[in-house]
Structure 1
Amino acid sequence: MNRSKLTIAEFLFQCGLRINNSLNDSKVQEAVSVFGYTAERLEAGRNILDASNALNETFVKEYGELDAAYEQRNEAKDLANFKFQGHLAVARIVFKSNPSASTALALNKPLPRTNSEWFTRSRAFYNNLLSNAEWLAAMADYNAGEEMLKSVLADIQGVENYSDVIMREKGDAQNATKERDAKLEELNEWVNDYESIAKIALNEKPQLLEKLGIVVK
């Protein structure tokens, strides 16, 4: 069986055909046992198959959790950024004649493009506003008071906290990939050896080979 031409799901299915159908057919067992593939040896192969299926399910779960963490982070960032850009627009009006505030709040700079730039810029904007009573009073006249500004700053910190979650989930996903791939390689070696023996043992019984998913030309 050429694993490289199969998806993982197809590969596991084909391995299941070879192993499970061998265990469930006394004629196949009788033929392959002559070459050392006893029921116990076939059970050992099924154990490798079961472990491979379990590790593949873990792989899918871990990457699902990683995708979910990214999605949650992006949703939280979109909401916080919407609020940030609204306050930024207000500040440009409020401090249009205040060079000191304009510089400290980076009011005339292009919007940040990367996540790191966004965190740095948005945090600095709110921290600088919150540390200046005069600027706070000016923003409050536009329904952007201290509590609201603190709330958005907390939202920004919440978005950044997702980075820790994402790194943890990414590590779990990478470990799941490594463990699954190692077990799949073990399964591939076991099944290829068994398939070669099955072709010899069942050479004159092509219908049994086909029952194992082995195509007979």
Structure 2
Amino acid sequence: MATRPKQSEAGTMETYRVALTNAETQPEIATVMADLGYDSVKITEGKTLLAETRSIYDFNKTEDDETSAASAAFADKKAELERIFKLHRKKAKVIFRKDSLTADKLAVSGEMPRTYIKWLEAARKFYSEATADTDIQTKLARLAITADNLTDANTLISELEAARAEYLKETGESQEATKAKDAAFAKMDDWMSEFYAVARIGLEDKPQLLEALGKVVR
């Protein structure tokens, strides 16, 4: 099994890059490695593999950044709806405290649901029922909940759903990109593991040259 250097993935790629560059351009190392099968063609194979790993790594980073942005957008929409719905719900509970049928219709009876899906369903029911019933709108207006407020809240619910869908999509893509990156590193690590094994054999009596390939000799 290949053993990756104990450093970050970016640091690992840099170590590999320097090792391959020095194995190709440092005359003494290049001669020894070529004699053991690691000539310019073989080194180019490693450099090509490293370039592919870098490309996949960069793509994974991009996907991670997009996931973070989508997560933040979803969190912002959720916080905004929470703030608005919490206030509107409190007002509605006061307005319909003696009208349990309407309170139930608006889903404001009892405590606020805790889980996301149940909470969103409660918000959806509140605003859809209120938007469709002019009598309820008239009573809500007593505590400054306007028809425009209800329309805006319904729009916000749609935006929240879209933001969550985008976040879940980006999460899935990020996970797939991570799998691809891990596979690329596994392949690169395996290639470099054999490279280093050969280098240790060829440069056993020249530890300072082995260090030029990123291997500290104690």
Give me the whole-angstrom Cα distance separating, in 1, the residues matched to 2:121 and 2:196.
Answer: 59
After TM superposition, give the deviation of residue 5 of structure 1 in Å.
4.0
Match of 2:199 in 1: 198
2:151 counterpart residue number = 150
1:176 offset after TM fit, Å?
0.9
Letter in 2 for 1:117: K
| Deviation per residue, 1:51-82 (Å, 9 max, x gap) | 11221111111111111111110111111111
Give the alignment's Cα RMSD to 1 decimal.
1.6
1:142-166 C-alpha deviation (Å, 9 max, x unpaired): 2212121011111011101112211
Equivalent residue number for residue 75 of structure 2: 74
Q: Using the TM superposition, give the Cα deviation of residue 24 of structure 1 relative to its aligned residue in structure 2, in angstroms.
A: 2.3
Q: What is the distance in 2 between the residues matched to 1:190 and 1:10?
A: 17
Q: What's the secondary structure of 2:87's corresponding residue?
A: helix
> How far does the alpha carbon of each residue in 1:77-122 deviate from its partner, in whole angstroms, 9 at most, with x for none?
1111111111111111211111111111222321122221121010
Query: Within the alignment, does 1:169 sit opposite 2:170 as a pair?
Result: yes
SS of 1:174's partner is: helix
**What is the percent sequence identity of the aligned residues?**
24
Query: What residue is the counterpart of 1:16 in the other structure?
Result: 17
User: What's 2:8 paired with?
Assistant: 7
- 8 A Cα contact 1:66 1:173, kept in partner: yes
Q: What's the secondary structure of 1:107's corresponding residue?
A: coil
**Contact in 2 for aligned 1:119/1:160 (Cα 8 Å):** no
Which letter maps to 1:143? Answer: A
Letter in 1 for 2:171: K
Match of 1:62 in 2: 63
User: Match of 2:181, as an amino acid?
Assistant: R
SS of alignment partner, residue 141 of structure 1 = helix
Counterpart position of 1:112: 113
Instruction: Please report the TM-score for the alignment, with normalisation by the length of structure 2.
Output: 0.93
Q: Give the TM-score taking structure 1 as reference length.
A: 0.94
Contact 1:123 1:153 in 2 (8 A): yes
Aligned position for 1:139: 140
Give the Å deviation of 1:4. Answer: 7.3
**Gaps (5+ residues) in structure 2?**
none
* Conservation of the 8 A alpha-carbon contact between 2:66 and 2:170: yes
Between the two proteins, the alignment pairs up a number of residues equal to: 217
Q: Does 1:26 align with 2:27?
A: yes
Measured against aligned partners, the alpha-carbon deviations of 1:4-44 in whole angstroms (never above 9, x if no partner) come to 74432332232223212212212211111001111111011
Amino acid at match of 1:158: E
Structure 1 residue ranges without an equivalent (≥5): none
The question of whether the paired residues in 1 share the 8 Å contact of 2:5 and 2:12 is answered with: no
Contact 1:17–1:212, Cα closer than 8 Å, also in 2: yes
CA distance in 1, matches of 2:149, 2:168: 30
- What's the counterpart of residue 38 of structure 2? 37
